[in-house]
Every structure is written in structure tokens, then in C-alpha cells.
Structure 1
């Protein structure tokens, strides 16, 4: 039992859980795009291991753990095959959302732990924790020609990784590795699922800065006050918003206009 409670075993187990969950999500994206088995494997491996590989490259590791530990690659491939043969919809979506949040907590904590073990300070530890947690999903979105979802207008995700990596670093400094890991996993899972259910999102710059309100004028104010109104087109910033023309009203006005009398007078009469 003591063997299972060693911190290094917790680190590896959390990493493998995160890899498997993120690889399933990558496979689900591949299915939504209609990819073949190669696309499934590539997206699964990218989603699962790109963040960890970039972290290890930044830390100067000779070989990233993703290519030296057989559990990592095999877990991603198995998850890709499962996603290929199983349609991950319905109840699977709930499990995928929960697995994604578990992975977010696992990876932000393990990334911060590796950075702390390398002797880095607080901010680099937080940065590497966030990179480990979100870079795989960002790279996956780029591969399928989508704007990375962590850039905004989506429920809280990267911000949870920041908080998780921050508390993990503090717990490591206090000597509470396992407590920090549990807080990261449980906290990200609970808060992440609540954010998705209640649609908690960070405000955009335009909704906070006075310059944004002045630049686009009253149209943005109406958009903020009345969310049901459509967003202003980018062309409206230069040319102004033209009033909407009602064809029915126009035709009725035309019908009510009396016909103009024709001038049949001939010159010289």
C-alpha cells in the first residue's frame, strides 16, 4: 500500500488518466470531422501529449516522457481506437466533459509539479502547468482549422488551470504534494462542470474597457443591454448602420401616392 502512496506513483497515475481522457476527446473531434483511423490517432495523440511534450522541451528534458514511457503512447492509441469504434454522444458527452475536467486538474498540477522540481519560481510553475493542461487542445483546434476554444466566449477552462497550478505550487512549497493534487483534480472537475452547466465565461475586453464603448458607439451598449440584438457587422464600423427598409411598408406607401398628372401640352399651343 505504501508503494501506491508514493508521490511519484500519484504523479504518473494522474498523467496517464489525463492522457486517456484527452485522447478520447481528440477522437471525438476526429469523428465529428469525419476523419479516418489515421486522423483519429493523430488527433488523439496530439490532444493527449502535445502539452506535456512542450513542457518537457521547455524544461530541457533530454527525451519527453511521452516518448520514453510506453504507458503514455499506448494509452492515447487505445483511447483513439475506442473513440473510433464507439460513437461518443449522449451520455458519453457527460463522461467526456467530466474526463476533460479531471484531465485539466491532473495536468495543471503535474505540470506545476515538474516545474517546481526543476527549481523554477512561482510564475514559471503556473505557466508550465497551464501549458501542460491546455496546449494539446489548442494544437488540436488548429489542426482542424478552428479558433482555440480557450481564447474566449466559452465556459471557464484555462483560468481554472491557472488557479489549479497556482495552488499546486503553494502546496508543493508547503510540502503537501498529495493534498495539492487532490485539490486540483476535485476543484477543476467541480468548477469546470458548473461552468459548463451555468455557462460561466470571462468578460471580453470590449465589455470592460471604456475605449471599446467609445470606439463602437451606442451599438455596443445596446448589444450589452439587450443581448437578443444581433452583433454589429464589421463593415458598420466604417460606413454606419443603415436603417432597415421594410418592403411591405414601401409598397403600401407607393400605392397610396396619387398618380402624377401627365403633361400633354405641346410646345407652342
Structure 2
């Protein structure tokens, strides 16, 4: 079940990467590259930090799913764009899932709670950072005005806290993922934004 959820999150993140390729007028190769690294980049970074072989290098699904997403966007990007509000909901779900599973994996490898939380956030937002850098955009992580990294951090923190109190396994992952998803969803619906430095005016 976790594998299916993982691939679902990868598919949604890959869609966002491919759409970024459309917006920046990349060709089909560029779209596929953005789709792949947006979808699995965070997991690859996490596994590299943990010193293990990334799952994307030994599971064909982690490669094929982003390519399928890129193909869908290549042929039907106007229709996909119209579905964007729904896709953002799945994107929020993927964010919650990845921050929780990334933190859990780091904890199981013996990392401290603090470092595990950091890797959980990397898992959730790393692909988006790579997407923005590859497409020549300022990484959204550096101006998290729409509360993207913040829900990921709180979800990862929750998973680490539950782990410390002996609550582990699918229940802990689900609780942390639901928390991160809920915060991200509410931020989108209510327009919650992270504050700027004191005295700096919001130009948005």
C-alpha cells in the first residue's frame, strides 16, 4: 500500500514538474527531466545523505511514472492546467506522505530526531527545489510565502515525536502525513502566508 501511495505522490509531483517545463517553454526532453527530478529528487537526496542506493535506481516504477506524467502533460497540458486545483490537493497529500516517510526512514537508519526531521523536509521539498533550479527559477523554498516547507516541517516533527514516544509504523506515518496535508490544504484555501522580515512590505 505504501508503495502505491508513494507512486501516486511521485505522479503528482511529476505533473507539476512537467507543467513547469511547459511554462518555461522546454522541449519534451526538458519536460521529462523536470518531471523526473521533481518527483524523485527529494527521495534521492535523502538516500544519498543516508548512504543507501536510491529507490529510483532499482525500481522501474520510480522512472516510468514520471515519464508517463510528462507524456500526459506534453499532449494534454491545457486540460491538465484546468485540473490544477485538484492536482494541488494531491500535491499537498504527496507533501504530507513524503515528509512522514522520509522522516521515518531516517529514524530507522539511526539518525537523531533533529536530523531525521531535516531529512523528512528534504524528502518532501527537495524535488521542488531541483525543479526550480533546473528551470531557472528562484526556489520556492527560499520564499515559502504559501506555507509549503512549514507543513512539511511540522509533519516531520510530529512523526519524530511520535517515534520517540513509541508510536511507530503506519499509524504514526498516517498521523504525521494527515497533519502536514491539512496544514497545506488550509494554507491554500485561506491564503495563509509566512511573514516577511519586520519592516519589509509585501509586494504581492
TM-score (norm 1): 0.70
Q: 2:170 aligns with which of 171, 178, 199?
A: 178
State the Cα deviation string for residues 17-38 of structure 1 (Å, max 9, x = none).
Answer: 2211100110111111222211
Mapped contact 1:154–1:199 kept (Cα < 8 A): no
Does the CA contact (< 8 Å) of 1:15 and 1:110 recur in 2? no
Structure 2 residue corresponding to 1:192, chosen from 165, 184, 193 = 184
| 2:33 is aligned with 1:46 | no
Decide whether the 8 Å contact of 2:145 with 2:195 is kept in 1.
no
Query: Which of the residues 203, 212, 226 maps onto 2:195?
Result: 203
Partner of 2:71: 81
Q: How many residues align?
A: 201
The structure with the largest helix share of the pair is: 2
Give 1:183 deviation, angstroms.
2.0
Q: Distance in 1 between matches of 2:48 and 2:162?
A: 25
Partner of 1:101: 92
Partners of 1:164 and 1:123 in 2: how far apart?
A: 13
Q: Unpaired segments of 5 or more residues in structure 2?
A: none
Give 1:36's aligned residue.
Answer: 27
Q: Deviations over 1:59-117 (max 9, x none)?
A: 011x2111111111111111111111122222x11122112101101110111011011
Find the aligned partners of 1:74 and 1:185 in 2 and give their Cα distance.
Answer: 25
Q: Compute the displacement of 1:172 (Å).
A: 3.0
Contact 1:160 1:192 in 2 (8 A): yes
Alignment partner for residue 56 of structure 1, among 47, 57, 65? 47
RMSD: 1.8
Contact 2:100 / 2:120 at 8 angstroms: preserved in 1? yes
Find the structure with the greater CA-based Rg.
Answer: 1
SS at match of 1:86: helix
Q: Secondary structure at the match of 1:89?
A: helix
Distance between the aligned counterparts of 2:24 and 2:159, measured in 1?
36
Higher normalized contact order (CA 8 Å, seq sep 6+, divided by chain length): 2
Cα distance, 1:153 vs structure 2: 5.5
User: Partner residue of 1:130?
Assistant: 121
